Amino acid sequence: MPNHAFTWLGVVLAIFFWASNFNAIQAISDVISPLMGATLRFSVAALLLLGLRAWRAEPESVLSLRDKGALFFISLVGVLIQNFAIFSAMQYTSPVNAAIVAANMPLAGILLSAILLHTRIYRFHILGALISFGGVLLVITQGQFTSLAFNPGDLLMLIALISGCLYTILAKRWVPHIPLSQQLRWMLSLGMLQMSVIVCLVDTPIRAFQALTTQDAALLIYMGLGGTLIAYYFWMKGARDLGPDRVTSLFNLMPVFTVLISMVNGGRIEWTQTAGIVLVGCGVITGNAYPVIKLKLKQKIAAIRLKHQPE
């Protein structure tokens, strides 16, 4: 298989786990608050990583104060803010809606990469972004464009979308020199600590633990292992090895996975959601495919010119 085939496969698996998270979050009991659910989810992943670190006890890179500060900020954006927004959003919107909004990550990532990483942006990126935004607008207004009755859950997913893009880009820009396993453990652990402090201040953790059902525990363990530990590892590996602008191009698979999962669970898919998926997919293809096609055409033209050069 090609050198990066397994890396691409891992990114697809990460997107599948994140897509299934929307369904899992919605199935958790209402007594578990969004912040408490997010904290428990990341506690599973972080405690497992810390346990593995203590068991292996291998020497690691010494992190500077700047590295620790960068990891703290990245975890604040990509763990605390993003996941609190997602858990809160699922109180108001459907898994399919959430996945359609999240599928705009490719183009949001391209735009933010242009700003933060100074990558080149094409006019087709803008066109693709507008097409995808039309799909999102169709979904969050349920086709009622004149009323603009936005669902608060969909707006919260927009916050999660921006946070996820910043997480991927900042990790690539600030901490690419830190080994992946060490980077992942620090970010998940810092995110867990940040959420734990806030939970203790604004929530009732003891009451939440007492109300925790077997199904809730199983769902949180699933999200902690598959939708957090495994997904974040493969995503970070893909962003580091392939680049954030390339891996985010697969995010248009998220609504497809979520629709399939919802259909298996007996959920009903609205026409606005189907149309939104199509528009978002078209926007992602428009925004990502043109630069690649243009580059390949330039390479072919250059090869033809080289071939016909006089010896």
Q: Each residue of 51-67: pLDDT tens digit?
A: 988 888 778 888 999 99
pLDDT for position 20 = 92
pLDDT for position 246 = 67
* Mean pLDDT within 305-310: 66
Gap between the Cα atoms of 207 and 201, Å rounded: 14
* Mean pLDDT within 134-143: 73
Count of alpha carbons within 13 Å of 83, Cβ hemisphere only? 29
Is the pLDDT score of 309 beyond 80?
no
Q: Each residue of 187-239: pLDDT tens digit?
A: 999 999 999 999 999 888 888 888 889 999 999 999 999 998 899 889 888 88
In this prediction, residue 128 has a pLDDT band, given cuts at 50, 70 and 90, of: confident
Question: Which one has a higher pLDDT value, 290 or 240?
Answer: 240
pLDDT for position 295 = 67
Distance of CA 187 to the CA centre of its chain: 15
What mean pLDDT, rounded, does the chain reach?
83
pLDDT for position 52 = 87
Q: Each residue of 63-109: pLDDT tens digit?
A: 999 999 999 999 999 999 999 999 999 999 888 788 878 877 766 77
* Mean pLDDT within 122-145: 73
Q: Are 243 and 113 in contact (CB under 8 A)?
A: no
Is the pLDDT score of 140 beyond 70?
no
pLDDT for position 294 = 67
Q: Each residue of 229-273: pLDDT tens digit?
A: 899 889 888 887 877 666 766 776 787 788 888 878 877 777 888
pLDDT for position 1 = 44
Per the structure block, which two tokens stand in for 274? 């189907």
In this prediction, residue 146 has a pLDDT band, given cuts at 50, 70 and 90, of: low
